[in-house]
Amino acid sequence: MTKLDGVEHAKKLWILEQVLETGSFRAAALKAKVSTPAISQALSNLERLVGKPLLIRKDGKVFPTAAAEQLLAVTKPAIQALRELAIGADVSDVPNIAWISFGAYESLAVDLLPKLTERLQSKLPKLKLTVRIANNNSLAAMVRNGELCAAIVEENDNLGRLLSIPIAQDRLGCYVAASTPQSERSWDASRSVGTISPGADGYARYYSKFIQAAFGKNFRPSLLSDSYEVLRSSAVYGSVMAILPTRVANRRAGELVEIVPPGLEDSSKGTHQILLTSQPNCDQDEIRFLISEITPLLA
């Protein structure tokens, strides 16, 4: 396979990811700036290359087959490299920026903002930084409405027509207080469970898959909150077993322990991207600069 072949295959993988992120061929075409038939052709070529179907169409939406999930899980580095080439993630010169307005969800902001503020002030002493804290769905809406230049969000199904660049990865887990006796740390699906509140369209796809794999289709949470911090505090207190991203759960060592559901010991379910999302027509120098400053802090 030539280097050119490798780039073309990476593009097809990127297109597959766009279709699954946006949920439709048309939305993926708008995001990739190509025609809808071009999207269809690229995916047909990819399916021939893999030798297996990659997509399932149901009720007007597009879902991945098991082969597609496995393929994307092992090829994410190639897709990420292609994204970085496309947006030019390497920023050698500090752009002349007087003001940045962006958003982040609460749990990420708690860890990120002190370090990011320090980095930005050292490079842009006169910079005015404004940060909005909200849940993922609200942040995407604020970016779409022009209230924010960019936002850091977890992957979700409400990012259609926005430019979304992966900057880190995380995974979900089930956590209980470290004070839980060893005899009670075995898996028990009947425990009181706390989860993040679903949006208007339900949970993000990765979250739904994790819940179904861990608890089955008839899962009923005991606690719903739009704040991971509330869920984390409730788990530390011992009120619930909380479904949390590992970055949130492990912020302070020794407070929580993970209980892995049977069958998910080596599963990728619950793995998800953290994205910087913005309007496609936003100042790309500003976006590149933000990515270059934020990514090392999330490594």
Q: Which of 10-24, 66-80, 143-157, 228-242 has the lowest mean pLDDT?
A: 66-80
Rounded to an integer, the average pLDDT of 121-147 is 89
Domain termination site, one of 33, 58, 87: 87
Antiparallel, parallel or unpaired: β 150-154 and 99-104: parallel
Q: Which of 3-7, 182-186, 240-244 has the lowest mean pLDDT?
A: 3-7
Domain assignment present for residue 93? The answer is no
Residue 222: pLDDT band (50, 70, 90) is: very high
Residue 2: pLDDT band (50, 70, 90) is: very low
Residue 87: pLDDT band (50, 70, 90) is: very low
Domain termination site, one of 54, 87, 120: 87
| Domains held by the chain: number | 3
- Do 183 and 266 lie in a common domain? yes
* Whole-number pLDDT of residue 197: 92
Q: H/E element holding 169?
A: strand 163-170
Question: How many C-beta neighbours within 10 Å does residue 236 have?
Answer: 18
- Do 141 and 22 lie in a common domain? no
Quick one: 54 exposed, middle or buried, by C-beta within 10 A (0-12, 13-18, 19+)? Answer: buried
Residue 232: pLDDT band (50, 70, 90) is: very high
Helical residues (DSSP H) of 145-204, grouped into ranges = none
Residue 1: pLDDT band (50, 70, 90) is: very low
Residue 93 · residue 123 · CB < 8 Å: no
Domain assignment present for residue 113? The answer is yes
C-alpha distance from residue 166 to each of 52, 202, 215, 257 (Å)? 27, 22, 28, 28
**Rounded CA separation 148/20 (Å):** 25
* Whole-number pLDDT of residue 75: 72
Helix (H, G, I), strand (E, B) or coil at 206: helix
CATH label of the domain that carries residue 146: 3.40.190.10
Whether the pLDDT of residue 190 is over 60: the answer is yes
| Rg of the chain (C-alpha set) | 20
Rounded to an integer, the average pLDDT of 66-86 is 69
Its domain, for residue 112, covers 99-166+273-298
Domain assignment present for residue 241? The answer is yes
Domain assignment present for residue 92? The answer is no
- Do 154 and 280 lie in a common domain? yes
CATH label of the domain that carries residue 10: 1.10.10.10
Q: What percent of the chain has pLDDT over 70?
A: 89
* Whole-number pLDDT of residue 81: 57
Residue 175 · residue 235 · CB < 8 Å: yes
* Whole-number pLDDT of residue 260: 93
Domain assignment present for residue 139? The answer is yes
C-alpha distance from residue 111 to each of 117, 229, 232, 294 (Å)? 11, 12, 14, 11
Q: Which residue has the higher pLDDT, 90 or 144?
A: 144
Residue-averaged pLDDT of the chain: 84
